[in-house]
Chain A
Amino acid sequence: MVIFAVVKDAFENDVVRASNDDLAAIQRAYIGGLPRGKALHEAKEMIDDRLLAADAADLFLLQSGSHKVAGNLPSMQMSVGERRFPYPVSLGGTAMAGHTVLGRGMFIDAHTYAFVGRDLQIATDAEREIIGAFALVLLASLIIATAGGMAVSRSFLHRVDAITATCRGIMVGRLSERVPVTNSRNELDQLAATINSMLDRIATLMDGLRRVSTDIAHDLRTPLAHLRYKLERAREDARSVQDYASAVNNAIADCDHLMEVFSALLRIAQLEAGVRRKGMAALDLSELVRKVAEFYEPLISDLGRPFSVRIAPNLTIMGDGQLLFRLLANLLDNAVRHTPDGTPIALEAEMQRSKVLVSVRDKGTGIPPEDRESVFRRFFRREQSRTTPGSGLGLALVSAIAELHGSKVTLEDNKPGLRASLEFERIAVLPVVRSAMAEAELVDS
């Protein structure tokens, strides 16, 4: 609408300016003819010329007194200045009805009046054309927008339906379903990919849970059956208070063992599901191994075993301190439990082939190659170790911790004995730590 007003205004200004120019030209012709007494004639000639060449929109009038001399307008009241009036019916007939004339009138001498004007219909036509053009553009964009919107929303709804269908499938138990991903890389694809990785994660957790429930069902049943049998036998056979007391103590010990197995199973499942990512941080493995060594040293030397510890400094890795302590404690514990007293044990941490290598070695009987894989299985116990205490879950736990750290326990022949080792990626010391160390050095010096 603003454009409109501007266009109309500019057009009318133009009309007035052109009228002024024409009037000035008529006046110049009139004055030029004066000396020869042909002033009125010159002005008439000029107007006639203009009318011959002009387009129909130009309107002229030259009148002397009330007598029309030239022009295409009927004589009218001689008023000066800008004038706006309806197109004379006598001139244009009904076809021109409703048209408006805009122009200017002036006296070019005391008795001679001239008027120049234009039919404003051109402007009105332009107005109408502009409106038409606008309407067309508007309509076109509306159609395009609607069609595009429908197309987009249809594909959007289609995709959302696919996601909904997948989710419903999962709700009714079809856990392996995944949201289809197109390769257009838009937001919906990102969403679909995220949902899929979430589902994968849930599936892993569910697998872990399922395995734990199976393990619990299978592996806690046996010790529970033993416990029950022992209690029954105590009821039948116990003759004295002491008999009962020892039966009760045995039962409590069995319960504790059961709890231990139960906790270990849960822990392994949690580790395998990768729950404990929180504890991961840059960690000085040299310091950790030193602590493990200090923790085990009294026990190992109490058993009359030589204990050799070799630790390279500044072995920084990403890891969970508590879990790695537990891993090393388990390996040392195995070395202590499965070799005769007096057998040497070694704990080492060093750089080897640009990896951090931690190993526990003993000079015992070792594990034959065919058993080196299966010892990591839950509840696997080799014939020789059936008599030593243990849950049969230690190495399964060790292997779960190693896996969480992106590592793997390697069992090798220590000639003689067993060498259990793990490799870790060494990481650069964190910048913060380094700058703190640098500061400390500055202070020291």
Chain B
Amino acid sequence: MEENSAIATTLVIEDDPQTALHVTEALRSIGHSAHWAATGTDGYHQASGGKFDLIIVDRMLPGLDGLTIVRNLRRAHIEAPVLFLTTMDDLDARIEGLECGGDDYLAKPFATSELIARSNALIRRARKSVALQTMLRVGDLELDLLARTVKRQGTAIELQPQEFKLLEYLMQNSGRAVTRTMLLENVWGLDFDAGTTIVESHVSRLRGKVDREFAPEMIHTVRGVGYILRAH
């Protein structure tokens, strides 16, 4: 299940040494090879080499700013996923970042677990998007994206549209923890933290349908991080 993201190569473009250290250490702890560029210009040159599986870039940088770097990379057909890291937690800054070719946005300060979860999700999505999947399978759980049906051990499970989306996201990231904010963003399209308990309620409903009558349990809570769906 740990598949090939273990050898992922990540570029961190960040001018603050302490943040850079924090990020690169976090990435190395999950087996990434992490490179650090301290200025926008340097970062852009390294990134345009095109050998990276993930580029983490600060918005405000000396030399080239983050938005310009990403815009130029996309123009040069460098398609590596980009995670913006920034103190500009502005309502429109996020949209701006995504519009210019970024894939995700994380505001400083952030929890290490959030950074890791998002990095993993981005790398995985980039690797999988080559082949468009219509059927997701994890262990004995099957989700058909076209027929909108879910089966476990061959038994059909009835899900509400929200529950279906939630399960789809968990399965797409199976084997990796996803955080509450990732769920809020990707399942409900919300850009604010609506509180712990509300996501917990949704997940426990889903558990009731996917796990209660089957063994083993697939959806687990990761304390202080979020949730994980795995085959065993």
Could you list which residues of chain A lie within 8 angstroms of chain B, going by C-beta atoms? 255, 259-260, 263, 266-267, 270, 275-276, 278-279, 291, 294-296, 298-299, 302, 322, 325-326, 329, 333
Contacts and interface: CB of A to CB of B under 8 A. Distances in A.
Given A259-B109, A294-B162, A299 B197 contact: yes
B194 A266 contact: no
Contacts of B107: 263
Interface residues on B, range: 20 to 34
A295 B92 contact: no
The winner among A263, A267, A296, A298 for most chain B CB atoms within 10 A is: A298
B190 A275 contact: no
A225 B92 CA distance: 32
Contact of A295 (B109, B191, B198, B204): B198
B85 to A, nearest CB: 15
B188 interface: yes
Contacts of A294: 160, 162
Contacts of A296: 198
A302 B204 contact: yes
B183 to A, nearest CB: 12
B158 interface: no
A298 B202 contact: yes
Contact of B190 (A270, A298, A299, A322): A322
B90 interface: yes
B191 A322 contact: yes
Contact of A255 (B90, B91, B92, B109): B109
B181 to A, nearest CB: 12
B228 to A, nearest CB: 20
B91 A333 contact: no
Interface of B: 89-92, 95, 107, 109, 160, 162, 188, 190-195, 197-198, 201-202, 204-205
A292 to B, nearest CB: 10
Contacts of B92: 275-276, 278-279
A423 to B, nearest CB: 24
28 contacts: A259-B109, A260-B193, A266-B90, A270-B90, A270-B91, A276-B92, A278-B92, A278-B95, A279-B91, A279-B92, A291-B188, A294-B162, A295-B188, A296-B198, A298-B198, A298-B201, A298-B202, A298-B204, A298-B205, A299-B197, A299-B198, A302-B201, A302-B204, A322-B191, A326-B190, A329-B192, A329-B194, A333-B195
Nearest to B202: A298
Contacts of A267: 91
B187 to A, nearest CB: 10
Query: A interface, by DSSP: helix, strand, loop or mixed?
Result: helix
A140 to B, nearest CB: 61
Nearest to A266: B89
A444 to B, nearest CB: 22
Nearest to B89: A263
The winner among A278, A295, A296 for most chain B CB atoms within 10 A is: A295
Given A255-B109, A270-B90, A302-B204, A325 B162 contact: no
Contacts of B201: 298-299, 302
Contacts of B192: 322, 326, 329
A333 to B, nearest CB: 7
A270 B90 CA distance: 8
Contact of A325 (B190, B193, B204): B190
Nearest to A252: B111
Contacts of B202: 298
A289 to B, nearest CB: 14
B211 to A, nearest CB: 16
A294 B198 CA distance: 11
Contacts of B89: 263, 266
Nearest to A294: B162
A263 to B, nearest CB: 6
B23 to A, nearest CB: 18
Given A259-B109, A326-B190, A333-B194, 15 more contacts: A270-B90, A275-B92, A276-B92, A294-B160, A295-B162, A295-B194, A296-B198, A298-B198, A298-B205, A302-B204, A322-B190, A322-B192, A325-B190, A326-B192, A329-B192
Give the top 3 A-B pairs by smallest Cβ distance, nearest first: A298-B201, A299-B201, A299-B198
B132 to A, nearest CB: 27
The winner among B89, B109, B162, B192 for most chain A CB atoms within 10 A is: B192
A344 B185 CA distance: 29
Nearest to B163: A298
A41 B15 CA distance: 122
A299 B202 CA distance: 7
B108 to A, nearest CB: 9
Contacts of A270: 90-91
Nearest to A259: B109
Contacts of A299: 197-198, 201
B54 to A, nearest CB: 25
A260 to B, nearest CB: 7
B229 to A, nearest CB: 18
Nearest to B198: A299
A417 to B, nearest CB: 21
A275 B91 contact: yes
A294 B193 CA distance: 17
Contacts of A275: 90-92
